[in-house]
Amino acid sequence: MRKICLLLLLPTLILSGCTLPFTSAPGPDGPSSTGYLGRIDSSQVTPTVTPSNTPTCTPTPTNTPTPTPTSTPTPTNTPTPTNTSTPTPTFTPTPTPLPVNVVFNETYLSIIKERLQSYTTAELGDSLTSSSFAEYKTPYRTSDYSDYTITDDKVIFRFAANTLCEAHPAFTYETDLEEAKLFMNYTEDGVLFSETRIRKDLDPNAPMICLTFDDGPYDKVDLELLKIFEKYNGRATFFFLADRYKTQKWADTAVTLYNAGHQIATHTTKHTYFRDSYFDPDSEKYDGMKLFWQEINDSSLKLAKLVGHAPSMIRMPGGFWHDYMKNCPMPIIYWSISSGDTGKGTASSPWTAQPGETDQDVFDRKVNDISKNVLKGAFDGGVSLMHSIKTTSPEAVEKILAELSEKGYQFVTIEELIYYKGYTLKNGVEYCRRSWARTQQ
Ligand SMILES: [Zn+2]
């Protein structure tokens, strides 16, 4: 298990000896959050999303450490300890904070940027809001957030004068640690969070397939899928729309799936199709860039608050791609096997009632066609696309799982797939259309 040195991650907490009880729900197979912040194995640090800087786990004092007596209380009146037989003092190195994008999912930085844009005080004046920094088309820059400190209840970002734009004073921006924890890439024990969501007992040599479901949550379908996946010891990845969490039973459905070990990723808030016009300066939809960031930030924060941790992946509605999406703070996951479940059937198998047919006949034909499409396209490492809002999904999935399990397939989440296949994902890169392709069989 890959761990990271939390001596560097949360220096102030460690130095003050505080514990940090995380509230994020661990996966069923993950470690429980009962740990104490201590010195963690520092052997290997490889976040799933490759950061631009490789963190070091060797505390490197930048200044000569000050000897600190380990047990003798500092006298208040005399400068020298009264106990002259004090044991050899230990040395407390000055911790160097880890790069901010190693500690946090970068979506958090994007959210902070959006908040900073509306953060005006008498001290700051209009310098931020009137600058290019305030323009939505300017993506967050990781380097802007590199000077930060984590205290026992806050994350404090410091911005030097004139760094975000011209002519602003130096200032600090404090945010709530409880919220920030939702975006941390590591647990309190220094374990990569995504690994707590991965089953470690899968067979790396047996084929794996990931079935994904968009546009939910929808209790009527998703809770049926839950039962079917349970029957086959399978898990899936769901790309949900944050607007649907407004319906309590659907929000509850998302939590139920997450707690059962399924992966929940974001499919934005409102299902906006980000066509090229949204990113074209000459288009009346140019303001779409603002919407692009809002859709990512808002949907991630809502999902994080709902299930206890931020999503690590996104699927853009409609599968659209524009070069501007390279600025996306998450990997963009598409699909390599289409079920066609949003289609109308084919000429030889139309999904409309033919003379003498009942609705059930049409439904059965749809289920049959959808499951055949997935079965025909199935391959080790494949990612299929179906929908939570299609009532055909449970029966089609039952057929798919029954047949593929006969062939030895394991049904996994995207997180599990990349873990077992040894893939490395990068932010702002689309996957499954141009990689993990069927040609890689
Ligand atoms: Zn969709």
Q: Are 134 and 145 in contact, with CB atoms under 8 Å apart? A: no
Q: Which range is least confidently modeled, 7-11, 102-106, 201-205?
A: 7-11
What per-residue confidence (pLDDT) applies to 3?
59
Q: pLDDT-based confidence at 116, cuts 50/70/90?
A: confident
Residues whose CB falls within 8 Å of the CB of residue 150, separated by 6 or more in sequence, listed in order: 9, 10, 11, 12, 13, 97, 103, 156, 177, 180
What per-residue confidence (pLDDT) applies to 80?
43
pLDDT digits (tens, 9 = 90+) for 382-391: 999 999 999 9
Ligand 1 centroid to 220 CA: how many Å? 17
Q: Are 135 and 117 in contact, with CB atoms under 8 Å apart? A: no
What per-residue confidence (pLDDT) applies to 348?
87
Query: Length of the chain, please?
Result: 441
Ligand 1 centroid to 339 CA: how many Å? 14
Nearest to 103 by CA among 1, 2, 10: 10
CATH 3.20.20.370 fits 200-440, yes or no: yes
Ligand 1 centroid to 418 CA: how many Å? 22
Ligand 1 centroid to 31 CA: how many Å? 33
Ligand 1 centroid to 21 CA: how many Å? 36
State the virtual CA torsion across 185, 384, 199, 235 in degrees, nearest 10. 110
Of residues 216 and 97, more confidence is placed in: 216
Q: pLDDT-based confidence at 115, cuts 50/70/90?
A: confident
Question: Is 50 exceeded by the pLDDT of residue 30?
Answer: no
Ligand 1 centroid to 267 CA: how many Å? 7
What per-residue confidence (pLDDT) applies to 249?
98
Give the whole-angstrom CA distance, residue 93 versus residue 355.
Answer: 81
Q: Are 88 and 116 in contact, with CB atoms under 8 Å apart? A: no
Q: Are 311 and 106 in contact, with CB atoms under 8 Å apart? A: no
Give the whole-angstrom CA distance, residue 424 versus residue 325.
Answer: 18
pLDDT digits (tens, 9 = 90+) for 43-63: 333 333 333 333 333 333 334
What per-residue confidence (pLDDT) applies to 58?
36
Nearest to 211 by CA among 400, 46, 349: 400
Ligand 1 centroid to 53 CA: how many Å? 34
Ligand 1 centroid to 214 CA: how many Å? 5
- Mean pLDDT of the 198-223 span: 98
Ligand 1 centroid to 353 CA: how many Å? 26
What per-residue confidence (pLDDT) applies to 168?
78
Give the whole-angstrom CA distance, residue 415 versus residue 410.
Answer: 14
Question: Is 60 exceeded by the pLDDT of residue 185?
Answer: yes
What per-residue confidence (pLDDT) applies to 137?
74
Ligand 1 centroid to 217 CA: how many Å? 11
Cis status of the peptide bond prior to 217, with omega within 30 of 0: yes
Ligand 1 centroid to 299 CA: how many Å? 14
249, containing H or E segment:
helix 248-259
Ligand 1 centroid to 218 CA: how many Å? 13
Mean per-residue pLDDT of the chain: 80
Ligand 1 centroid to 241 CA: how many Å? 8
- Collapsed DSSP state (helix, strand, coil) of residue 146: coil
Give the whole-angstrom CA distance, residue 392 versus residue 213.
Answer: 12
Domain ranges of the chain: 1-61+96-197, 200-440
